[in-house]
Amino acid sequence: MHHSYFSRMEQSQNSQGGGRMDKEEWALVHRLLELSADPQWKAEGNFKGGYLVKVKEMMIAKCPGSGLKAYPDIDSKTKWFRDKYNVLMEIFRTSGFTWDDTTKMIKCERQSYDDKNYKHGKGLWGVPFPFLDELGKIFGANRATGDSCEDYIEAVDNLHNDNEVIDLDHKDGEDEEEEEDDMNSHLETIASAFTTTQQHEQVIMAHELHLDQKQKKLDEKKKGLFNEVMKILGLPRVEAMMAAKKLVSDESSLTIFYECPDDEWKKDFILNLIHPDLPPFN
């Protein structure tokens, strides 16, 4: 079974009693905090695409030789931080639950906490969580969309557009197969939605381009309309002016006028246009 860098660090700390895990976690929190304050990497409450790779570069500069990867190391730990922050915000909205800023721990009865059975609440009761203030600055703007909302940047990152390869060791059993099927289905849904969005935008852009080109051609026709009408021999000046006025305000008639094969056709069309009650021409 594959373990991320932070999972291995946690296991090492549990077996040796060291404090290196806290140092690594704080390093990641500070890198995320730094990036969240940079408009180049975060806007409207969400990180932009490629931010995990950027965090990895910042972490390697801070912790050289660590071998950190954007996936699964930084990705999984960032999600872990976000899940813990979100569940704490949920807890704080519940009567009887408070926060001790000195000890950095939840204050409530253990039974009350257990009864709530929070999805991501494991390991929070009676255990200091020193990152709350910093995580509030990093993830706080995303709370308006709710716990279950997956932001667009996360969806793009899950598709691995940063060309980072997920190295997963496959394990036997039905649970693993179901988990993999769910993951594939999830990725296919995101990819489909992303592709549909791109196609929709392309259709809109193509339609707008078509309208722009059509309008330009129409403007060119209107610009040279009076000269075209005046070139028609035998057409009185008054009728030429009347025709130009009607044609410039009627796009369909203007199109037909320019499609007439010669001046005789154009003259007949104009006379019919300005004198609709006249009998048909022979």
Residue range 21-55, pLDDT digits in tens: 578 888 899 999 999 888 888 877 788 889 999 99
- Is there a contact between 57 and 33 (Cβ–Cβ < 8 Å)? no
Q: Which amino acid is at 100?
A: D
Is 277 in a helix, a strand, or coil? coil
Dist CA 215 CA 212 (whole Å): 5
- Is there a contact between 124 and 84 (Cβ–Cβ < 8 Å)? yes
Last residue of a domain, one of 136, 157, 178: 157
Determine, yes or no, domain membership for 179: no
The answer to whether residues 11 and 144 belong to one domain is yes
The range of the structural domain enclosing residue 32 comes to 5-157
Dist CA 23 CA 49 (whole Å): 27
The answer to whether residues 121 and 237 belong to one domain is no
The answer to whether residues 122 and 246 belong to one domain is no
The answer to whether residues 145 and 250 belong to one domain is no
Q: With cut-offs at 50, 70 and 90, classify the pLDDT of residue 128.
A: very high
Determine, yes or no, domain membership for 189: no
Could you tell me the pTM of the whole model?
Answer: 0.46
Q: Which residues contact 198 (CB under 8 A, 6 or more apart)?
A: none
Determine, yes or no, domain membership for 178: no
- Report the number of distinct structural domains present in the chain: 2
Single out the residue of 123, 104, 108, 120 nearest to residue 26, CA to CA: 104
The answer to whether residues 112 and 245 belong to one domain is no
Q: With cut-offs at 50, 70 and 90, classify the pLDDT of residue 256.
A: confident
67-79: pLDDT as tens digits: 788 888 889 999 9
Determine, yes or no, domain membership for 279: no
